Amino acid sequence: MLAAARCVVYRDLLLALRRRSDVATALLFFVIVASLFPLGIGAEPNLLRAIAPGVIWVAALLSSMLSLGRLFAADYDDGTLEQMLLGAAPLGVVAAAKAFAHWLVAGLPLVAIAPLIALQYDLAAQLYGVLALSLLLGTPVLSLIGAIGAALTLGLRGGGVLLSLLVLPLYVPVLIMGAGAVEMAAAGLGGGGQLLLLGAMLVIAAAFAPWAISAALRISLE
């Protein structure tokens, strides 16, 4: 069972390595979206400092969603997904592995690069840790929830737009808690509560999303 999960993660990482441009696109998208705001709003330090957590989190949301369309679509087109359904391991394990691989490729780089973006917004240095931690806890939830949407919209025409309509509202709690943690910490109240809630969301999503993803995949492949 674990061998199958490891195999799927390894394969998806290998595919990402062979198509580095896809990974770079999502990361560059994040950087550019987050950089547009200071350019558009103007260099008013207090305003920038105030909007920084929200803007960075929204950019992370959009960038994580950008690569969701491809999560199952390629495997669906070439028949690999059918093989996963007929694999020796339960489909939930494979689904969790796919979501984990998506996070490694589309979520983890955001965590690493976020402090660099925060620099543009003149965010206080002691907030970098909270920002990175909130992204570290929140982006896996985005991958897990997004994978449910990707599985549901599989093989539909105009699935990309539908996917964003379906998934973005579900991202709202993560956005509120993630940006809230940084704002609270900036106000000197400590973001511990929000971070704990983000952690709880992660635990719940990790427990239930694989099951929902596999149910959605079965429906899409019938």
Partner 1 sequence: MLEASNLECERGGRRLFRSLSLVLKPGEILRIAGANGSGKTSLLRILCGLAPPSAGEVRWQGTPIRSLKEEYARQLVYLGHAPAVKGDLTAAENLAVACRLAGLPAGESAVRAALERFGLSANGTPVRKLSQGQRRRAALARLELSEAVPLWLLDEPFSALDAQGVELLDGLFQQHLARGGAIVFTTHQDPGFSATHVVELG
Q: Which residues bind partner 1 (CB under 8 A)?
A: 3-4, 7-8, 11, 14-15, 18-19, 74, 77-80, 82-90, 94, 221-222
Our CB check for partner 1 shows the closer of 91 and 123 to be: 91
Our CB check for partner 1 shows the closer of 94 and 142 to be: 94
Smallest separation, CB 91 to partner 1 (Å): 8
Our CB check for partner 1 shows the closer of 19 and 172 to be: 19
Our CB check for partner 1 shows the closer of 39 and 86 to be: 86
Nearest 5°: the CA angle 152, 88, 13 is 65
- Contact between 216 and 152 under an 8 Å Cβ cutoff? The reply is yes
Our CB check for partner 1 shows the closer of 93 and 150 to be: 93
Of residues 130, 98, 86, the one with CA closest to residue 111: 130
Smallest separation, CB 16 to partner 1 (Å): 10
Task: Say which residues have a Cβ less than 8 Å from residue 55's Cβ, sequence separation at least 6.
Answer: 34, 37, 121
Smallest separation, CB 4 to partner 1 (Å): 6
Smallest separation, CB 25 to partner 1 (Å): 16
- Contact between 129 and 112 under an 8 Å Cβ cutoff? The reply is no
154 three-state secondary structure: coil
Look up tokens 């696109």; give the residue.
25
Cα gap 118→92, rounded to integer Å: 37
Smallest separation, CB 70 to partner 1 (Å): 12
